[in-house]
Structure 1
Amino acid sequence: MKPKEFNMKVIWVAALIVYLYLLTKLILFKGHTVDWNIVRVQLMAIAQQPDLIHTRTVNLTPFQEISRDWHSLSLHRPGTAIHLLGNVMAFIPLGIFIPVLMGNKLLSGAKVLVLSLLLSFVFEATQLLTGMGIFDVDDLMLNTVGGMVGYVLYTMLIGLKRMIVGGTASTAKKEYNSNQSRV
């Protein structure tokens, strides 16, 4: 790896760490100061009294909250639009980070889908176990859609870059290299 490529990789990893910190602050701590001691105390409470899990609010019905928010969209209730769009927008950067850091390979879209779903599930499960939010299957879906939107934006930007800069498609490059090796 060239020094310039290594430096860019370090910058992207640092940006991912900052993004994950801000995402954690937004989802678990609702924008307040990140205090891991709160999480520890809540997890200790659930470990000592597992019956507390039954007191947590959970939505396991797909599209229940999305439908409710969609029908109550109005200028008088901007919180519903923030909930819908915020869950999508919060995961758009993840859909960009994954192919950049893992390489834009054939299965990048599948990686984004799975990793967006897994990260969202970790946040939702943490909210369930700590009581610092509500486990909502709709949030899982909206966050995963956000990751996929980010991936689509990333692929569109790469395609636009190739059109402007004049890069070649990877299949054409492979055919050229295979023809060259036969000579």
Structure 2
Amino acid sequence: MKTQKILIQLLWISALVIYLYLLTKLILFKGNPVDIKLVLTQLKLLMQEPDLIHTRIVNLTPFQEIARDWHSVSLGRPGSAIHLFGNVLAFIPLGIFIPVLMGNKLLAGASVLVLSLLLSLAYEVTQLLTGMGVFDVDDLILNTAGGIFGYVLFALVRGVKRMIAGEPERTVKKRYDANKSHT
């Protein structure tokens, strides 16, 4: 039984590694092959010419691009929907991987929030430093929301599974003792 549990854990870790590779390919390399040399070349160029950082496109206004994309979606422009919903969808798996792989389920929701934000921030800063994309605070918001949405889906599926299996709830219940004074 212990060997089976370890094997399942290794499969989940392998799936996480594949997911992170594909996410990196999508976000940093826009679907092209992952090329670490390109990232290093771009960083070396920035170190040689630090003023290049001023040429990068940056959005630091929360909800600016979200509002623009939402308006474009309402006008029937599919490209905006891909950007808007794609940022959320891309991080949903992370919201599932984290609680599955965490030992402490109590803090899983907070961990999903923090790790989704940090991973998104790492991608955005890499895009800023390398010029391989745009630093956008709205991407941080949407990606983090995607991670949280994934966690909520995970929690709902886990709850339904427990109800179907007839398992007891995992909440802390205060037992009533008629012999004790409750004043």
Would the TM-score normalized by the shorter structure come out above 0.5?
A: yes
Distance apart, 1:137 and its partner CA: 0.0
Identify the range of structure 1 (118-127 vs 162-171) with the bigger mean alpha-carbon deviation. Answer: 162-171
Q: 1:1-183 to 2 correspondence within 5 Å?
A: 2-74=2-74, 76-103=76-103, 105-171=105-171
1:155-174 CA-to-partner distances (Å, cap 9, x unmatched) read 0000011011122223479x
User: Match of 1:178?
Assistant: none
Distance apart, 1:42 and its partner CA: 0.2
Distance apart, 1:107 and its partner CA: 1.5
Q: Read off the aligned partner of 1:89 and give its amino acid letter.
A: L
Identify the range of structure 1 (131-140 vs 44-53) with the bigger mean alpha-carbon deviation. Answer: 44-53
Within 2, Cα distance between the matches of 1:14 and 1:106? 24
1:125-150 CA-to-partner distances (Å, cap 9, x unmatched) read 00000000000000000000000000
User: Match of 2:178?
Assistant: none
Within 2, Cα distance between the matches of 1:128 and 1:4? 43
Within 2, Cα distance between the matches of 1:60 and 1:76? 26
Distance apart, 1:76 and its partner CA: 4.5
Within 2, Cα distance between the matches of 1:170 and 1:163? 11
1:101-126 CA-to-partner distances (Å, cap 9, x unmatched) read 01352111110000000000000000
Q: Read off the aligned partner of 2:125 and give its amino acid letter.
A: A
Identify the range of structure 1 (70-79 vs 87-96) with the bigger mean alpha-carbon deviation. Answer: 70-79
- Unmatched tracts of structure 1, length 5 or more: 176-183
Q: Read off the aligned partner of 2:86 and give its amino acid letter.
A: G
Within 2, Cα distance between the matches of 1:21 and 1:117? 18
Q: Read off the aligned partner of 1:16 and give its amino acid letter.
A: L
Normalization by structure 1: what TM-score? 0.91
Within 1, Cα distance between the matches of 2:18 and 2:165? 30
Identify the range of structure 1 (119-128 vs 1-10) with the bigger mean alpha-carbon deviation. Answer: 1-10
Within 2, Cα distance between the matches of 1:161 and 1:120? 30
1:70-103 CA-to-partner distances (Å, cap 9, x unmatched) read 1111464200000010000000000000000013
Identity between Structure 1 and Structure 2 (%)? 68
Q: Read off the aligned partner of 2:88 and give its amino acid letter.
A: V
Within 1, Cα distance between the matches of 2:79 and 2:7? 40
